[in-house]
Amino acid sequence: MDVFEVCDTTGWLGKTLGFLVLDLEDRDGKTRDIFSRTFDHCFVEHGFVQSAVPCVAIVSPWNRSRPRKPTLLTHSGLRVFSHELGHAIHSFAQGVKAKGPSDFVEVPSILAENWMHEPKVLQRLSCHYTYLKPQYLVAWKDAWKKNHPSKNLPPQPPRQAPLDMFSEISYQRHPRHDMYDTLKVLWMSMVDFTLHNSSEEELSSMDFGVVCKQVLDEWTRIFTPSAGEGPSQNNSYLHWPILKNYDTSAYCYLLAKIYGYDIWSKYFARNPFNKRAGRRWRKIVLEHHDTKVSWNPIDKLVDLLMYKIFGVPRTHMEALTKFMGRKPDSRAFVRALKAPANKNQTFWRRMGIRIGYVW
């Protein structure tokens, strides 16, 4: 387990924003999920003032490294980690105050996934495992000799992965490639709406499995030959964490995919290291707190004037609109869906590349 202190490098004093705990390796009795949790009861001293900062733990069940075998991540594992890191960064920017509307919370994390499809970012993060420990280099040489007894040992692979290795991976960000995932979150959103639009009476006689299949057939038209026919044999849908954790807001994943793609296309697609846009994203959106709802007409008028005259956003949507210079929309996402697919992709390449690089 590693603990990192997260500091604000934009200020003079390098103020502590919080603590990041990485509990990534598997152990007996540990959950099989990957998730992040925020604890709001850590205190730091800034001069004479003591203040509360968030402590965020990212937990995963990745294999423990062994003396001759490192922990290697698949690209999808790295993507999930960056998603949870996006949640953590949002928490550090927010501080210990309220976290905003539940249908916004996935936007920063799904946007963060985009960097893990960027070849230059992946190359920067990559390191061939033989450079981590001398035992790994010996293990690599032994494995090579065992698998190629009649051949000479090749030179050690370069420390960083070559850039062209990632050209295929960058395609996975494309909405057309991600279609299955998009349809899945659409399906879950519609099931969520169906359940919450049903009366108690309807719910008591509802076969949840059948409803799930009907929605799947109606909205996605994929692999449902028996949709709606007969009683369901499998109610495993009941355990979907999305339905459990995002009561009536399961659509937040779909919304975040669309808004995340819009933000990425406008500010980061050409330059993923766009510092200015990154700082604006942090200051305007991540650090934003909604104005408290007040029934006092004078408070309402003051908030309205602050927004109209000084551009102080009252809601997350206004903060997003200020950041984008317009309302976020689905045009970039829909345009990408309509764009022709990359014909150079082979099936196996699209399925992802598993290689000996540690990310």
- Residues binding Zn ion (CB under 5 A): 106, 109
Tell me the one-letter amino acid at 326: R
Q: Which tokens is 217 given?
A: 């057939």
Amino acid at 224: T
Minimum distance from CB of 106 to Zn ion (Å)?
5
What's the half-sphere exposure (Cβ side, CA atoms, 13 Å) at 116?
A: 21
Give 129 or 253: the residue with its C-beta nearer to Zn ion. Answer: 253
CB of 185 to Zn ion, least distance (A): 11
Structure tokens at 110: 């799904």
Q: Which residue, 109 or 291, has its beta carbon nearer to Zn ion?
A: 109
* C-beta of 60 vs 109, nearer to Zn ion: 109
Q: Give the residue with the Cβ less far from Zn ion, 185 or 191.
A: 185
58 vs 169, which CB is nearer to Zn ion?
A: 58
Burial 220-254 (b: 16+ CB within 10 A, else e): beeebeeeeeeebeeeebeeeebbeebeebbbbbb
Point out the residue whose Cβ comes nearest to Zn ion: 109
- CB proximity list for 334: less than 8 A, separation 6 or greater: none
- SS3 of residue 23 by DSSP: strand
Least distance (Å) between residue 89 CB and Zn ion: 12
Least separation in angstroms between CB 36 and Zn ion: 8
Q: Which two tokens stand for residue 316?
A: 């997350």
- Name the residue nearer to Zn ion (CB basis): 109 or 249: 109
* Residue 79 burial by Cβ neighbours in a 10 Å radius (0-12, 13-18, 19+): buried
The token duo for 111 is 């946007």
Nearest CA among 266, 314, 329, 320 for reference residue 108? 320
Residue 224 C-beta: closest distance to Zn ion, Å = 27
Smaller CB separation from Zn ion, 24 or 161: 24
- What is the C-alpha separation between 249 and 247, in angstroms, rounded? 5
Q: How far is the CB of 254 from Zn ion (least distance, A)?
A: 13
Smallest gap, in angstroms, from Cβ of residue 247 to Zn ion?
A: 15
Give whichever of 82 and 109 is closer to Zn ion, judged by the CB atom. 109
Identify whether the C-beta of residue 20 lies closer than 8 Å to the C-beta of residue 3. Answer: yes
What is d(CA 88, CA 94) in angstroms, rounded to the nearest whole number? 10
Residue with tokens 């980690």: 81
Shortest approach of Zn ion to residue 85 CB, angstroms? Answer: 11
